[in-house]
Amino acid sequence: MRATLGFAPTFRLALVAAAIAPLWLLSGWRVGALVAALALLGAVLALIVDVAALPSATDIDVRRDFPDTVGVGDAADGVYTLSSRWGRRLDVTLFDALPSKHLAGALPFAQTRLPARGETALAFRVTGADRGDAPLGELAIRVRTPLGLASRTFRHATTDRVLVAPSLAGVKRFRWLAVHHRLATVGVRSTPRRGEGRSFSRLRDYTVGDDPRHIDWKATARRGHPITREFTVEQSQTVYIMVDAGRSMTQLSGRYPRFEYALSAALLLADVTIHAGDRVGALVFDDQLRALVPAQRGIPALHALRTALVPLQPTLVEPDYATAFRTLAQRQRKRALIVLVTDVIDARAARSLLAHLTRGASRHLAVVVALRNEALLHAASALASSAGSADLYASGAAEELVAERLTALQRMRDAGVVVLDVAPDAMAAAIVNQYLELKSRGAL
């Protein structure tokens, strides 16, 4: 009974009531009172017919199709499918309680027309806004007939969840460019190393001095002159990606913190490393260890890394390099490539980092990715003569910080550490280039 009588008046019913109300001004006149009563009776009968024409909750189904995982900053498409077992056409308004903290750009509601005993689809697009695992929330649909005097609302509970993770858009694009041999468009250089490895590279014309064992006799017979196989050197090594989650990584670079760029670049490097046959692990830290993914091979390594990075957020504390390198030394005793993503401004922190890098130089090959602070560089640039004293002081302080940073980076280079001084949005290509170069030189 409650489901049958449960309805809500619409704005159209309010307009009908407003149109009938002036007729009651004539109620002192017998004919006027009769006209007003008939008009009211007609409206009531129309409302009863309209309510009777509304479906029940079992007559309408709604389904939401949406990806289980969305990357931060990536657009994701979804579809609502509405189906009706009711024998009349309906006007439907759909409401979705998507988690606004994790997904941005969702419409508050969508309207459509649902044919009798038919179905219709509504497409929508949202963007990953903040990392985390969250329920997608319940769906609600408000239905009314073409007469539109009353409506009925049904709620549909769902168990759907979405995982907003570090963006893999760079990984997907890198794979596509690699397949189509267009990596140069994003600044990535391919530098294969020739040698006596087991991985086949290509066929080429035989030259004097080539090993006769590598002659491809079938290709030679087809082309009428000697053809030899060329191989690349196989080196299966370990790469550990260390990401600073401290104070400097909370600064915004455009729309997102620098930490988001670091996570996306880490996933891209991990994907390249995996496809190169190397083992990859990760370590995230601030003043304590935040995440540790042991080095492993294959696609499971990428999934484990992404899962570990999802709940992490940068904090307003100074990074503890001693704890991070101590943990790394316990986990990785054999030689490995260490890629550290951080920023170095404070002179004391720079000395601490340099001491740990120098101590581990005999065992590991270190690459420090120093994220450039574009706002600081802009503040340190020369100001116009009309600038006030506050701007001049700010410029002087920024220039001093930039000078200390450059000095610290140069000391690392002098100690044999590979240093990449890059902007956050250019970091991914720079890291991949450096890894490929070290790989091609056999430096790992």
Task: Look over the chain and give the mean of its residue pLDDT values, rounded to a whole number.
Answer: 83
pTM value is 0.69
Q: What is the pLDDT of residue 430?
A: 87
d(CA 9, CA 91): 15
Residue 286 has pLDDT above 60, yes or no: yes
Q: Which structure tokens are listed for 217?
A: 């006799």
Nearest 5°: CA angle at 283, between 251 and 419?
Answer: 65
Q: What is the pLDDT of residues 325-380, one digit of tens each?
A: 999 988 888 889 999 999 877 667 778 888 888 776 668 889 999 988 877 777 77
Residue 429 has pLDDT above 60, yes or no: yes
**Lowest mean per-residue pLDDT among 285-299, 310-324, 397-411:** 397-411
Q: What is the pLDDT of residues 218-227, one digit of tens each?
A: 889 988 899 9
Give me the CATH code for the 57-163 domain, please. 2.60.40.10
Give me the CATH code for the 238-441 domain, please. 3.40.50.410
Q: What is the pLDDT of residue 186?
A: 45
Residue 189 has pLDDT above 70, yes or no: no
Q: What is the pLDDT of residue 177?
A: 47
Q: What is the pLDDT of residue 175?
A: 53
Q: What is the pLDDT of residue 337?
A: 92
Half-sphere exposure of 68 (CA within 13 A, CB side): 1
Question: What is the average pLDDT across 240-251?
Answer: 92
